[in-house]
Structure 1
């Protein structure tokens, strides 16, 4: 209990981590309540008011059809977050299962599973996602599945590496000699002790999943119109950059802030959950206090 309290204090003592956590909470609120927070309908066309600069009526201006950019950004953030969360959850579930089985069992199962993972890792993330979407067709479901597939190998490697170090611990060996079943050992000893690296990887993967969704939507293979998406909004703004800078700046800023917040929060979690990093930070603080 004391160690857990110390971890929270260490996390709260980093202002960058606190700010990034606050930003992510705001993003989560937007993702859940975007439909109610949006001041206008995302597809309300008002051609006479097209390409208006940011004002009191339209905080982020309007696009080429007179649609409110702020409303579209809010709803697009919600769509991007849903794709990112579901795809990373899929990748974590499959990847952790594969990695834990490979690391715990070892032998030919480890060899076969990790060679499959290595083959998937050989492809660039975006290229593999493009291939999956090209085969299954564009859309929210296929985009989510494609991103989940390309990030599964990352979780598999992290889980396997952590499992290899945990399975040699004395408490695991004692459980085996007592005849404890593998399912109990995995659920009570292995998974709780490899959760730290997996939590950090989840935060970082959410950042890259957001980028991947935006890239696929920019290429026309992700979220399809009329549903707004941040990547598609940037694509549509290309012909109006000199006339309406706000059409590209605000969706791009949303992507930048979300990705940066996930990365900074992941770094903060790593400092707390990684024993080596935590020891170094506590030693530096002790030295400063002296």
Structure 2
């Protein structure tokens, strides 16, 4: 059985805008991430997926709930040395390669920040060698070490960001919409690079995005978020072939089809949240409809989903 690397348990991230206004960006979600896998997290803008990633890595303190890394509470009290050790294990690749790199620093120094902080090079020659090795790993020539970020294209800057994340030999990387700011022609290159690096370095990814077709390509399992809630979680193929939650079905119906006739015939399924009317005694929760396929629903809806899956299995 696969080993759990990350356990997210009833995680909440609420922002108090003023006395009467609380934004529940993440509102009680639970899921696991297994060592060596890529878990995709999708949803429309503002659904809480990026906040989830930032809370997992401690950029935000959790309002409630737990994030366990190898059984240890990420948000628990830690000494300076313990926190430093933890920070080596978890790294983040940010959405905007333009804003995430210091324009006043040379690329070599940006990549070497983690090496310097954690003392991973004995001398300047070893530091330089490590930077050149990292540049080579992400498909850039060593000459980039002497350049500034503005001298690189968007795709090259994202490769620099990936090299910076790899510099401390992490086990787990959160990729927060790493391709959304890139040209379509470059997106596939970055995703293929990430898959290659995952194989070579035994990495585990949380891949956050809104492009469902690209998420399916890179992910082993996919979680779907809607306004702070995780509404569905399943293996990638299962989610695409047998979506259950109406919001998931709506997202999938919006994916363009690479066929002009089929695209003209495609009809978008709009999601209406008012269809979920629950009584006080009928509160929804995550249910496992089939092995590994979880849906946020009531007991009544669970019966409907179970019946639908049974019919799909017979029909398939």
Q: Name the structure where helix makes up a greater proportion of residues.
A: 1
TM-score above 0.5, yes or no:
no
Larger radius of gyration: 1
> TM (normalized to structure 2)?
0.24
> TM (normalized to structure 1)?
0.26
